[in-house]
Amino acid sequence: MTVTDLYRGYIACLNNQDWQKLHRFVHDEVHYNGDRVGLSGYQEMLERDFREIPDLYF
């Protein structure tokens, strides 16, 4: 798998809101803006973004 394939998979995961696969692209100890949010916090942030921006598309 190329880096391009991996990135496209990540973007597809986001756009499809396929949270079951998010762990394939995001580390359990992910940091966001310098703060450790973890995978669950990152997912919560994305879910909130999709709720607040209904036509969100990456």
Question: Tell me: the pLDDT tens digits for 10-57?
Answer: 999 999 999 999 999 999 999 999 999 999 999 999 999 999 999 999
State the pLDDT at residue 1: 84
List phi, psi (to 5°) of 35.
-110, 140
Question: For residue 45, which of 21, 25, 19, 24 has the smallest C-alpha distance?
Answer: 19
Domain 3-52 maps to which CATH number in 3.10.105.10, 3.10.450.50, 3.40.50.620, 1.25.40.10? 3.10.450.50
C-alpha–C-alpha distance, residues 47 and 51, integer Å: 6
Amino acid identity for residue 16 in this structure = N
Given a contact cutoff of 8 angstroms between Cβ atoms, the answer to whether 39 and 27 are in contact is yes
pTM: 0.90
State the pLDDT at residue 4: 97
Amino acid identity for residue 3 in this structure = V
